[in-house]
């Protein structure tokens, strides 16, 4: 695992549900912050049970400012109704807060059956659904949406750490309209919301 520790969403627990907690973002954030200051971070271990050593190196003298990409201002969207299906409470609430900042109306469900029930009541225009859900995974949730006449027209987006090309193909086959890797940028989320059909098409 050492060569991949600082990649986003890398976890030693590779099961689909990832029930042992953690998003796999902590060390990726550490790397990003250190590199913003012109430094490096490395990890070393002799093996299981021997502990680990993390080394951060920062420059003593001021370096040239790091070039940052200019922010692209997205056109403001009309508020959309969005259902987030995510079993990780912190991730779900972070996504809720980010979308509410854009004045969208958000509901959150923490598992597949709850998500289906809330979709019938809330009538969302967009559903952001995690893949690694316990018991009923995101693929099963998407298939259930497409099999239900009242839900099948809703715009489904797989929001997941499983971002290989084959994962995108599998998501499409399950019924998802789009496949986004975690963590999505606000620009990506706004593009997804802009691509979703109008509310009158899903009522």
Q: CA–CA separation, 175 vs 149, rounded Å? A: 14
On whether both 53 and 93 belong to a single domain, the answer is no
**Domain count of the chain?**
2
The predicted-structure confidence for 60-100, as pLDDT tens digits, reads as follows 876 556 565 554 454 566 889 999 999 989 889 888 988 88
The predicted-structure confidence for 128-151, as pLDDT tens digits, reads as follows 999 989 889 999 999 999 999 999
Helix or strand or coil: residue 64?
A: coil
- Is the per-residue pLDDT at 194 higher than 50? yes
Residue pair 111/134 in contact by the 8 Å Cβ criterion: yes
Average pLDDT over residues 12-31: 66
Q: Is residue 151 part of a domain?
A: yes
On whether both 98 and 195 belong to a single domain, the answer is yes
Q: Is residue 7 part of a domain?
A: yes
On whether both 88 and 173 belong to a single domain, the answer is yes
Q: Is residue 193 part of a domain?
A: yes
Average pLDDT over residues 153-159: 93
**Separation of first and last alpha carbons in the chain:** 47
What's the confidence (pLDDT) of residue 12? 64
What is the residue-averaged pLDDT of the chain?
83
- Is the per-residue pLDDT at 199 higher than 50? no
Helix or strand or coil: residue 139?
A: helix
- Which CATH number do you get for residue 24? 3.30.565.10
Residue pair 82/193 in contact by the 8 Å Cβ criterion: yes
Residue pair 152/181 in contact by the 8 Å Cβ criterion: no
Q: With pLDDT > 70 as the criterion, what percentage of the chain qualifies?
A: 80
What's the confidence (pLDDT) of residue 19? 53
- Which CATH number do you get for residue 107? 3.40.50.2300
Look up the pTM and report it. 0.63
Two tokens, residue 103: 């004045």
Within 10 angstroms of residue 188's Cβ, the number of other Cβ atoms is 15
Can you say how many angstroms the Cα of residue 177 is from the centroid of all Cα atoms in its chain?
15
Q: CA–CA separation, 21 vs 57, rounded Å? A: 29
Cα-only R_g, the chain: 19
Q: Is residue 148 part of a domain?
A: yes
On whether both 33 and 105 belong to a single domain, the answer is no
107 φ, ψ to 5°?
-125, 150
On whether both 85 and 164 belong to a single domain, the answer is yes
Domain around 37: 2-57
């Amino acid at each position: 695992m050492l060569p991949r520790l600082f990649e986003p969403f890398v976890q030693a627990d590779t099961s689909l549900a990832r029930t042992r907690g953690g998003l796999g973002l902590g060390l990726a954030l550490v790397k990003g912050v250190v590199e913003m200051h012109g430094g490096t971070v490395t990890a070393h271990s002799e093996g299981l049970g021997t502990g680990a050593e993390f080394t951060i190196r920062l420059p003593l003298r001021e370096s040239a400012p790091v070039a940052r990409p200019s922010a692209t201002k997205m056109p403001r969207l009309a508020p959309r109704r969005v259902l987030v299906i995510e079993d990780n409470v912190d991730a779900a609430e972070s996504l809720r807060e980010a979308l509410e900042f854009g004045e969208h109306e958000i509901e959150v469900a923490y598992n597949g059956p709850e998500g289906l029930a809330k979709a019938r009541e809330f009538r969302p225009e967009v559903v952001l659904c995690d893949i690694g859900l316990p018991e009923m995974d995101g693929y099963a949730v998407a298939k259930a949406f497409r099999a239900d006449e009242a839900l099948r027209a809703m715009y489904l987006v797989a929001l997941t750490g499983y971002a290989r090309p084959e994962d995108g193909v599998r998501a499409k086959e399950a019924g998802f309209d789009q496949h986004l890797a975690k963590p999505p940028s606000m620009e990506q989320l706004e593009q997804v919301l802009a691509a979703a059909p109008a509310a009158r098409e899903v009522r």
